[in-house]
Amino acid sequence: MPSIDVAPLDLESVIMRALVASGASRANARPVAESAVAAEAAGAASHGLAYVPTYCEHVRIGKVDGAAVPTLERVKSSLLVADARSGFAHPAIAIGFDALVPLARETGVAALAIRNSYNCGMLSFHTDRLAAAGLIGIGFTNAPASIAPPGGMRPVIGTNPFAIAIPDGRGGLALSIDQSASVVARSEVMKHAREGKPIPAGWALDPEGRPTTDAALALKGTMVPTGGYKGVGIGLMVELLAAAATGATLGIDASPFMAPTGGPPRTGQFFLAIDAGASSAGLFPERIARLSEAFLAQPGVRLPGARRAAARARAAATGRLAVDAELLARIAGLAETAEPA
């Protein structure tokens, strides 16, 4: 696909204006736009601009309430609960983190449960923010069902990613893990379908449970769990935390993220913030350094998150992002009726 170079702030402005033109408030549009631009900068295009037209459509038809005002409550000494009120996950996460970070510093460990939300984009975008604040950030988010249990053909859990971000003690990241319960994120299959490309073997099954490389058939079938039954176990763990423990909608009952059918998905997220300096008697930085050295001592080995970090560094050095020109033009068209952001 032809690409075009654009400044990150200009890209954020276009996305914001498209969302506002579709009916989102500026307060809600901003964190969604920031997340999408961050995904593009990290080289995760399937979680970036590709979702924006769907976000805009879902705001217009009421599948997500673009004007929702999330609420936050401290229900226990170290437990916060945010209700996204059928709106975007990003604003609920933002207000939750404003309280979560100081609470974790005070108590050592704090949790944030979010219910009635929508797709949160690239999960590591959020956990990395906790690491930048000097805390271990662990996040879970459930999604509409797309993975069948071993021996079954009907999906029961979503691709259900989890993410872990580790601080480097200098306001940055030592490492960042972001992975789904499936071999690949479903958004990658969607990307291939939009582009009319086959998917690699081993990504998905067709509606009859047979391996397929046809992206369109894969979207009608199920995703292949990573590691077989172990991947299903990971997805179930995420479902228990992000949906059951938050009171959000289970993946089997949630409407799809990428289609106009159904009402608001009302899925959930669950975050843990941990002050590992306190729990490790100050030895956490040394242990992380030792572990990292063991990885990097082997030629060709990289730490989790290193590829995303390298992409962000390149984007920062050039001050430009290469994005799909046709997709950007489509989003710019959606933004035409909005006032400048």
Catalytic residues: 46-47, 188
Residue located via tokens 């710019």: 332
- Cα–Cα distances in angstroms (integers) from residue 90 to residues 30, 217, 265, in the given order: 9, 31, 15
Asked if 70 contacts 87 with a C-beta cutoff of 8 angstroms, the reply is yes
Q: Is residue 4 left, alpha or beta, with left meaning phi > 0 and alpha meaning psi from -120 to 50?
A: beta
Instruction: Report the alpha-carbon distance of residue 68 to residue 7 in Å, rounded.
Output: 29
Token pair listed for 22 = 């579709």
167 close to 173: Cβ distance less than 8 angstroms: yes
CA distances from 252 to 155, 249, 267, 282 (A): 7, 8, 11, 43
Q: Which helix (H) or strand (E) holds 178?
A: strand 173-179
Q: How far is CA 247 from CA 76, 212, 250, 276, in A?
A: 16, 35, 9, 28
For residue 73, give the 3-state DSSP assignment. strand
